[in-house]
Amino acid sequence: MASIFSKIIDGQIPSRMLWEDDMCVSFLDVRPLSAGHALVVPRQETDLWTDLGAPTAAHLTEVAHAIGRAQMAVFSPARVGLMIAGFEVPHTHLHVVPMNSMAQLDFTNADPNPDQGELDDHLALLRSALDEAGHSSVSSR
């Protein structure tokens, strides 16, 4: 059975898609830990990140780096956290989280009902920052 992330990648479930290339996608988290919280997900449905091939794992990190730099430019957080947990969905995903404290990496602090207009604004700002940085994989869907 396909994971929820595979369904998002296939367009069966709507998302706020930020990045799309041959190896992965990135989209805003529907339960963000902070403004601009994004997930980087390989197209290949693999549960454990340690089972990914090294080139795929490296590529996910490169994409997370680009998104983290965009988050720094847009939100000016003290840090951008990068986390691979994997307990929520059995499909590898990297959390890229603008943060001002370690508490922002606590999933009990996730916003279960974020303002949809704000999510749209965050998506537009991040896409613009990625475009300005010269990235060609910025999603338009």
Domains of the chain by range and CATH?
A: 4-132 (3.30.428.10)
The pTM for the full model equals: 0.97
Going by pLDDT thresholds of 50, 70 and 90, the confidence category of residue 1 is: confident
| Cβ–Cβ under 8 Å, residues 34 and 97 | yes
Does residue 137 carry a pLDDT above 90? Answer: yes
Which band of pLDDT confidence, cut at 50, 70 and 90, is reported for residue 113? very high
Averaged pLDDT score across all residues of the chain? 97
- The pLDDT, as a whole number, for residue 47 is 96
Q: Please say if the pLDDT value at position 141 is more than 90.
A: no
- Cα distances (angstroms) measured from residue 22 to each of 27, 44, 51, 63, 66: 15, 10, 19, 12, 16
What pLDDT does 70 receive? 98
Residue 77 confidence class, pLDDT cut points 50, 70, 90:
very high
pLDDT score for 91: 97
Two structure tokens written together for 35:
């403004």
pLDDT band, very low/low/confident/very high, at 104 (cuts 50, 70, 90) = very high
Tell me: pLDDT of 41 over 90: yes
Burial of 87 (0-12, 13-18, 19+ CB in 10 A): exposed
CA distance 108 to 59: 29
